[in-house]
Amino acid sequence: MEFPLVQLELPSWLSLRFEDDSTVWTTREERMHLVIELARANVKKRTGGPFGAAIFERDTGKLIAPGVNLVTSSHCSVAHAEIIAIMIAQQHRKHFDLGAPGLPPCELVTSCEPCAMCLGAIPWSGIRSLVCGARDEDARQIGFDEGAKPVEWIAELQRRDICVYRDILRNEAVKELIDYRDQGGLIYNSREG
Amino acid sequence: MEFPLVQLELPSWLSLRFEDDSTVWTTREERMHLVIELARANVKKRTGGPFGAAIFERDTGKLIAPGVNLVTSSHCSVAHAEIIAIMIAQQHRKHFDLGAPGLPPCELVTSCEPCAMCLGAIPWSGIRSLVCGARDEDARQIGFDEGAKPVEWIAELQRRDICVYRDILRNEAVKELIDYRDQGGLIYNSREG
């Protein structure tokens, strides 16, 4: 019996996007603007769903890792934008804990509030803050299943010293979701039994 | 700016374990016995934590993908045993949905009840049944953080037509956790803020 290797790579358009780009994204709005741009480009380039994310050094705004949803293109249901960004950031740091002693605090910025899986992944990742654009209900509104989350999910993150900022450029973020639906984009992973 | 590739590979001992092995694992107990063996070997070989999982064709018992916890060795907090098994199985099927029409139903067997992240990943994976050894509280008992899960997590999976079987060889599964703690194994990812 042989088992395949799992290899997850950013699409080439995304790597090109950051070639020769030394921008520092200072504010939460600037960071959100970037991940919404990635969500939009991901749909346009047909590499996945309308979701973008990125991990920044929280205090400097330096980009550590971008992420887009690669579920369909990489045959991987785990490949949500947040998970891709987390995995790339950890490879970059060569550490499974982005909050390990000696490392600068990291912030995860996502164009839409995390689904149950990504929410569960956040405490293990070591990020210290989470910035969200669209709300959970905005994704559900266009047919995406966000999964079963604890009702008090924000308090649960805060209890672990992870700050949560919601509704950053929410209208812009929601627009990407609605545009995707209106273009007839595939709503995958909405199995309801 | 350049970003690293994410590559997740089974440890060589695990690939060797299945070389020339054409066993079919018929019962839930046989499948659990295998994943407990993987959990134990993962600690012994120092490739990660005391957790093993596998995805089988539910009705035939054919092994599709094994998984072990590779968090520390692969610098990846997402690399829990269940996630590794899901990702490998999907690469094998070349599809992000293991429950897609035309594919034989798949079963995820795990030596310990899934943490919040793995629980959230299960509906997206397309598996049709989940078989657990140790309970959530058994992992917490030795210091592992399982995260915040919905109280009614079993009912939530069942509502999506995913069957759940608990306590399969629970005592054997718990023994691996206790042995790990008693050997002074690293309890990573238990940041509490």
Considering only CB atoms, A124 lies closest to which of B66, B93, B189, namely B189
Per the CB < 8 Å rule, is A123 touching B189?
A: yes
pLDDT at A74: 95
Backbone angles phi, psi at B17, to 5 degrees: -55, -35
Considering only CB atoms, B188 lies closest to which of A92, A96, A153, namely A96
Helix (H, G, I), strand (E, B) or coil at B55: strand
β-pairing, B63-68 vs B52-57, is: antiparallel
How far lies A187's CA from each of A64, A116, A138, in Å? 29, 17, 14
Residue B83: both structure tokens together: 């996630």
Q: B2 or A18, which is more confident?
A: A18
Please tell me the distance from the alpha carbon of residue B127 to that of residue A109, in angstroms, as a whole number.
Answer: 30
Number of Cβ atoms within 10 Å of the Cβ of B63: 23
Considering only CB atoms, A76 lies closest to which of B19, B90, B192, namely B90
Told to judge if A82 belongs to the known catalytic residues of this protein, a careful annotator would answer: yes
Per-residue pLDDT averaged across B152-160, rounded? 96
Name the one residue in this structure whose structure tokens are 């550590």: A64
Contact partners, residue A44, CB within 8 Å, separation at least 6: none
Under 8 Å between Cβ of A107 and B112 = no
Please tell me the distance from the alpha carbon of residue A173 to that of residue A175, in angstroms, as a whole number.
Answer: 5
pLDDT at A189: 60
Residue B107: both structure tokens together: 């079963």
Residues of chain A neighbouring B125 (CB-CB closer than 8 A): 77-78
Residues of chain A neighbouring B3 (CB-CB closer than 8 A): 10, 15, 18, 65-66, 88, 92
Per-residue pLDDT averaged across B154-179, rounded? 97
Please tell me the distance from the alpha carbon of residue A52 to that of residue A110, in angstroms, as a whole number.
Answer: 6
Helix (H, G, I), strand (E, B) or coil at B52: strand
Number of Cβ atoms within 10 Å of the Cβ of B191: 16
Per the CB < 8 Å rule, is A150 touching B145?
A: no
Q: Give the DSSP H or E segment for B171.
A: helix B170-182
pTM equals 0.96
Per the CB < 8 Å rule, is A91 touching B161?
A: no
Under 8 Å between Cβ of A93 and A126 = no
Which of B82, B113, B146, B176 is catalytic? The answer is B82
Please tell me the distance from the alpha carbon of residue A177 to that of residue B2, in angstroms, as a whole number.
Answer: 28
Please tell me the distance from the alpha carbon of residue B26 to that of residue B165, in angstroms, as a whole number.
Answer: 15
ipTM field: 0.96
> Mind listing the pLDDT tens digit for each residue in B106-146?
999 999 999 999 999 999 999 999 999 999 999 999 999 99
pLDDT at A193: 39
